Amino acid sequence: MAYEKREQLYEGKAKKVYATEDPNVVIVSYKDDATAFNGQKKGTITGKGAINNRMTNNLMRRLEAKGVPTHYIEELNDRETAVKKVSIVPLEVIVRNISAGSFAKRYGVEEGIVFDEPTIEFSYKNDDLHDPLINSYHAVALKLATWDEIDTIKKYAFQVNDFLKKTLAECGVTLVDFKLEFGKTADGTIVLADEISPDTCRLWDEKTHEKLDKDRFRRDLGGAEEAYEEVMRRLMGDR
């Protein structure tokens, strides 16, 4: 169905959110803006809004079919999607299969160590505090989530990891790590929200280990636009 885009409710680093005529539905519009290091580095990756929108929707539809509930409703155009209105659980959920990025830096290990099993960590979603690491007990103490909600989030996060790892491996891409966000619908159901894209996943070419994600922007490697397009081409067979 056609949803009517009304007033802007929110603008984040990578997306804008608009109200619709349905109080339980909002429209997410993806931007080409790129940020890193808690917004200290800013730039543009031309075309990434459309790529991230289409890739996220493709993966969320496939995850729904695998039993992971998501906020996805309908792709409206290249950059805009209708989603269920949710209250975001203020936890960033990070699943890691291989050491890289802040994990390698924090623990003084090299990048590229393949873990025997995936790890999971939470960050408290709070820009003023620079998204500090937080454990389950802290999250419950601060009333960010209940034990049941944390158990549900962990279960879905590992399901997403299993699916993404397999799906990307079939395209010659290694899933190093990724960040998820979850939300609660009006009736309190936990669903996968936000996005799954080269903005939120660390992706390496299986053979060359070339970076195919936002690290190209973060680390001034160049070729970010081409990397995003390459991931979409491999995953969805088009540009």
Give residue-wise pLDDT tens across range 78-122.
Answer: 999 999 999 999 999 999 999 999 999 999 999 999 999 999 999
The whole-number average pLDDT for the span 171-196 is 97
Number of neighbours of residue 137 by Cβ within 10 angstroms: 10
Q: How far apart are CA 198 and CA 218, in angstroms?
A: 12
Residue ranges per domain, the chain?
8-84, 87-226
Domain 87-226 has CATH 3.30.470.20: yes
The single residue listed with the structure tokens 């999250």 is 139
The whole-number average pLDDT for the span 17-36 is 96
The whole-number average pLDDT for the span 137-151 is 98
pLDDT > 90 in the chain, percent: 95
What predicted TM-score, i.e. pTM, was given to this entire model? 0.95
Give the pLDDT confidence score for residue 238 in this predicted structure.
59
Give the pLDDT confidence score for residue 37 in this predicted structure.
87
Give the pLDDT confidence score for residue 239 in this predicted structure.
44
Query: What are the residues facing 42 on neighbouring strands?
Result: 35
Q: Please choose, from the candidates 203, 198, 205, the residue with its C-alpha nearest in 3D space to the C-alpha of residue 228.
A: 198
* Residue 144 neighbours by CB under 8 Å, 6+ apart: 89, 90, 91, 124, 134
Question: How confident is residue 40, by pLDDT bands cut at 50, 70 and 90?
Answer: confident
Question: How confident is residue 39, by pLDDT bands cut at 50, 70 and 90?
Answer: confident
Contact assessment for residue 29 and residue 44, using Cβ atoms and an 8 Å cutoff: no
Q: Considering the domain 8-84, what is its CATH architecture? A: 2-Layer Sandwich (3.30)
The whole-number average pLDDT for the span 68-79 is 97
